[in-house]
C-alpha cells in the first residue's frame, strides 16, 4: 500500500487557545510528515511496502517500527481532539462505559491526565480497550503503540515535548489540562468502543 499522512481534520488554528496554530503546523508538517518520510525511505522497494501500517506496527521492531507507529499515533492523536467550536458531550454509551470504569467523566480525565503527566520521557498516554473488553488508561514510551499488545486504542495524547513546548515550554501539565478539559473528541471513543 501507499503510506500517507491523513489531512488534518480541522484548521491549524482550530485548537486555540489550548494548542496554537504554530504548534499544530510544526507538529503536523515537520514531525508527523517527517516520520512518514523516514518510513518510506526504509521500506520503499521492499516487500514491506505492500503491508498495512497496522501490520508493520504489530510485527516490526526497531526504527522501522518506531516510524510506522509514529505515523499511526499522530494520525490518531489529531483525531483524538475536536475543534473548540465543535465540542460536544459524550454519547450515552461512552459516558456509561467511562463512568462504570472510572467512577465519573472527571475520574477518567484525572486518570488520563495522571498517565500523561507521569510518562517520564517522550511518549503517549492512551485510553484502550483490552481484549477482554475492559477499558484501561496507560502510558507508553517513545513510539510504543498498544496495537502491538493486542489492545484497541480509543484516545491518545502526545506528550513528546514538540507537542507543547512552543506553547507551554516545560509545563506539560498545562498542556495536558487543556487537552482533557477542552479538546477531547468523545466521538472517536464511541467509534472505537
Ligand atoms: Mn508528536
Distance (angstroms) between ligand 1 centre and the Cα of 190 equals 24
Which string of b and e fits 69-85 if b means at least 16 CB within 10 Å? bbbbbbbbbbbbbbebe
Distance (angstroms) between ligand 1 centre and the Cα of 74 equals 6
- Whether 187 has a pLDDT exceeding 60, the answer reads yes
Three cell numbers written together for 8: 488534518
**Same fold yes or no, 21-79 and 92-192:** no
Look up the pTM and report it. Answer: 0.95
- Whether 50 has a pLDDT exceeding 90, the answer reads no
Residues with CB under 5 A from ligand 1 (ion): 31, 158, 160
Over range 147-163, report the average pLDDT.
96
**What is the share, in percent, of the chain residues with pLDDT greater than 90?**
85
Over range 33-56, report the average pLDDT.
91
Architecture of domain 21-79: Orthogonal Bundle (1.10)
User: Residue 1 — pLDDT band, cuts 50, 70, 90?
Assistant: low
CATH class of 92-192: alpha beta
Distance (angstroms) between ligand 1 centre and the Cα of 32 equals 7
Distance (angstroms) between ligand 1 centre and the Cα of 109 equals 21
Q: What is the pLDDT of residues 68-118, one digit of tens each?
A: 999 999 999 999 999 988 888 899 999 999 999 999 999 999 999 999 999
Pairing of strands 135-141, 123-129: antiparallel
Q: Where in the chain are the domains?
A: 21-79, 92-192
Amino acid at each position: 500500500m501507499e503510506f500517507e499522512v491523513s489531512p488534518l481534520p480541522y484548521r491549524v488554528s482550530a485548537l486555540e487557545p489550548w494548542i496554537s496554530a504554530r504548534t499544530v503546523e510544526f507538529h503536523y508538517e515537520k514531525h508527523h510528515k517527517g516520520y512518514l518520510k523516514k518510513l518510506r525511505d526504509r521500506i520503499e522497494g521492499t516487500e514491506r511496502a505492500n503491508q498495512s501500517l497496522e501490520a508493520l506496527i504489530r510485527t516490526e521492531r526497531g526504527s522501522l517500527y518506531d516510524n510506522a507507529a509514529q505515523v499511526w499515533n499522530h494520525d490518531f492523536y489529531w483525531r483524538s481532539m475536536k475543534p473548540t467550536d465543535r465540542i460536544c458531550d459524550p454519547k450515552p454509551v461512552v459516558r456509561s462505559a467511562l463512568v462504570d470504569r472510572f467512577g465519573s467523566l472527571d475520574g477518567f480525565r484525572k486518570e488520563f491526565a495522571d498517565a500523561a503527566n507521569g510518562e517520564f520521557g517522550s511518549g503517549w498516554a492512551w485510553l484502550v480497550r483490552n481484549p477482554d473488553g475492559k477499558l484501561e488508561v496507560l502510558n507508553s514510551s517513545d513510539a510504543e503503540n498498544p496495537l502491538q499488545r493486542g489492545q484497541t486504542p480509543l484516545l491518545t495524547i502526545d506528550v513528546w515535548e514538540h507537542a507543547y513546548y512552543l506553547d507551554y515550554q516545560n509545563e506539560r501539565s498545562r498542556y495536558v489540562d487543556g487537552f482533557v478539559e477542552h479538546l477531547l473528541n468523545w466521538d472517536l471513543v464511541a467509534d472505537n468502543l
